[in-house]
Amino acid sequence: MSDQPASFPKGMQLTPFDPHFREHPYEVLKSLRERAPVLLDDQFNRWYVTRFDDVRQILRDKDMSADPRKANPESFVARITALAGTNNSAPSSMLFMDDPDHRRLRGLVNKAFTLKAVEALRPRVREIATELLAKIDGAEFDLMASFAGVLPVIVIAEMLGIDPGDRASFRRWSEISVAAFFNPFRTPQQSEDAAQAQMELDRYFRRMIELRRAQARADLISEMVHAEEEGNRMSDDEIVVQCNLLLIAGNVTTTDLIGNGVKALLDHPQELAKLRARPELINNAIEEMLRYDSPVTNSGRNVQRELSMRGCPMHLGDSITVSLAAANHDPEVNPEPERFDIERTDIQHQSFGGGKHTCLGAPLARVEAQEAIMALLKRFANLRPSPRGFKYRAIPSFRGLSEYWLQS
């Protein structure tokens, strides 16, 4: 086992609630990756894994479980689930499901997220981006409030078939729900607000399901209501849970990808100039943004067989947190990882997870980020950071900006 002195960061020190980690995560993760790549975090009762090959191996291991109910009751993932008030008898989202249930549900909803289906959405994503940017008036604006935080919500709302008049409520409920979902340290007030928002979302989605069952439309809820593959259908409870998952996948993560990506460009003016001069680099630039400052920083699994990793014995039910952010900055696979280079070749990142749980919405996130960033650069020829600065949010397992002020 690696030498693991008490001085290593553990527990809360590995979350954005710690100010140093929130502002300088890659500095902290570099130290861990070099000195304790498989860390026993006894404060949170979990293993914390930081090297690319180890992270990839765990995410691809078919014997690992994503279901918190299969974890040791004292382990990190089980305690997080308990704090979230999750009902063990309630349907899980695909995020926390193992096969065969995971494969069944994924098969029923994946048609909306194929490369072909997402490419068909590209003109509409471009149109939404252009419309939002046209409304920005004045020499200074908050990228997150006026653009990055709005575009993904509109896209996923339109995919689900949410009426435009309901979007403001839909966005408010989803933001409150997302902010609490992965936060085991939330206050009683945050928990109360999240429960209320969840109840409103639940009621809204169930009403939508009834309407789509009576009359189908060309939207994702209609597809889920009427989906059938090899005799399988989705229950109303399952549809509601998957809609909630799509909110998280289609809202906060893509918002953070856009925000983090724009910040990376503005922090590296030579790369920004390069992209303006050669817009064909945008696809590769998005992959480098995903690697350089991933919107999702962690994923989790629990051990279902006795094993050893780098001399560390892992037992049945143990909780493992894999640091996607640390893996993306492993110099063994991405040389000079702290260098942001939109022409980097052979980019390898784990920002969409891996194995059978690779993010279903990855093609959509890529298209939204590509269109959003190119539309932003087209709209503002002299984009630069404002002295008002930026602030990072404190949501565990996510990295993103709550504010990012720019001058046009």
**Residues 124-137 pLDDT 10s:** 999 999 999 999 99
Least confident of 241-250, 349-358, 369-378, 385-394: 241-250
The answer, yes or no, to whether residue 288 has pLDDT greater than 90, is yes
Of 343, 352, 344, which Cα lies nearest the Cα of 294? Answer: 352
The confidence band for 15, taking pLDDT boundaries of 50, 70 and 90, is very high
Which tokens in the block code for residue 312? 């560390």
- Calculate what percentage of the chain has a pLDDT beyond 90: 72
**Residue 19, pLDDT score:** 96
Task: Please write the tens of the pLDDT for every residue from 152-183.
Answer: 989 999 999 998 888 888 888 887 877 776 67
Q: What is the signed CA dihedral for 163, 125, 294, 21, rounded to 10 degrees?
A: -50
Which comes out higher in pLDDT, residue 219 or 111? Answer: 219
What is 89-299+333-407's CATH number, 3.40.50.1820, 3.30.390.50, 1.10.630.10, 3.40.50.2300?
1.10.630.10
The confidence band for 405, taking pLDDT boundaries of 50, 70 and 90, is very high
For residue 364, count other CB atoms closer than 10 A to its CB: 27
**Residue 44, pLDDT score:** 93
The answer, yes or no, to whether residue 320 has pLDDT greater than 60, is yes
**Residue 1, pLDDT score:** 45
**Residue 396, pLDDT score:** 87
Which tokens in the block code for residue 99? 């096969």
**Residue 96, pLDDT score:** 87
Which segment, 177-191, 236-250, 253-267, is predicted with the most confidence on average? 253-267
When pLDDT is averaged across residues 361-390 and rounded to a whole number, the result is 97
**Residue 369, pLDDT score:** 98
Of 286, 314, 255, which Cα lies nearest the Cα of 72? Answer: 314
Which tokens in the block code for residue 332? 């063994």
Of 45, 161, 95, which Cα lies nearest the Cα of 296? Answer: 95
**Residue 83, pLDDT score:** 60
pTM (two decimals): 0.94
The answer, yes or no, to whether residue 94 has pLDDT greater than 70, is yes
Q: What single DSSP character describes residue 92?
A: P
Q: Is 85 exposed, middle or buried (0-12, 13-18, 19+ CB in 10 A)?
A: exposed
